[in-house]
Amino acid sequence: MIPTAHIEVKEEGIIAKTVLMPGDPLRAKFIADTFLENVCKFNNVRNIFGYTGTYKGRKISVMASGMGMPSIGIYSYELFNFYGVENIIRIGSCGAYTTDLNLYDVILCTEAWSESSYAKVQSGYEYDTIAASLTLNSKLNKIAEDLGIKVHKNRIHSSDVFYRENFDEYKDIYTHHGCTCVEMESFALFHNANILGKKAACLLTVSDNLVTRELTTSEERQGAFTNMMKIALEMAE
């Protein structure tokens, strides 16, 4: 049934089968303005902008997820379950847990480890790790190779908490769980894809490094994440 509680679509079929999801609505707008043609804006609710357009003549949508698992949990569930979306590719930022990653490096997430209760509460899922779609990842990896963009294929940490009282906890998560970086959404996205029989993947660009404390500004981030965007946009069908 459309529209749903959080997405206000006026026409059937307006959302493409593949949706790119940055966290930030202004990044969704940047992608639509910079890379898409024949753009139509399909969502404004809560300023979670959603656009459909064509990339090299192929249809694709881009819609913001907001920050954190509760937020991407709502939007990805509605897109998959009510709007016929088959693939969601999150394109986000992450904080690096190691000096092996530099600012602006791109990571293709193989699996997300999390302390989150999202999947347990949602459907009784008992484990702390969820894999990305192998099908989407092998396509994204091939696209990155063809474009000559290096991607690190890594396990990542999906965290519910940005500001921890014990800053150094990340060292244990790196050492004991093998997560090279942290973001806040993929575990919930991958879970929704699995329970609904759909596909999800995640590309991340390093925006800060917890070891060196290097940071990027939000202005730099909005324009400088284009490598990750160009890889994901090639998934247009």
Residues lying near ligand HPA in the complex (CB under 6 A): 93-95, 159, 162, 182-184, 207-208
Q: Which residues contact 46 (CB under 8 A, 6 or more apart)?
A: 6, 66
Q: Between residues 40 and 167, which has the closer beta carbon with respect to ligand HPA?
A: 167
208 is catalytic: yes
**Smallest distance, Å, CB 84 to ligand HPA?**
30
**Smallest distance, Å, CB 210 to ligand HPA?**
6
d(CA 234, CA 95): 25
Q: Between residues 126 and 165, which has the closer beta carbon with respect to ligand HPA?
A: 165
DSSP 48-90: --EEEEEETTEEEEEE---SSHHHHHHHHHHHHHHS---EEEE
How many degrees, rounded to 5, is the angle at CA 75 between CA 72 and CA 77? 100
Helices (H), 83-166: 118-123, 134-147
Of these residues, 33, 146, 172, 208, which one is catalytic? 208
Q: Between residues 56 and 164, which has the closer beta carbon with respect to ligand HPA?
A: 164
Q: Which residue is nearest to ligand HPA (CB)?
A: 95
Residues with a catalytic annotation lie at 208
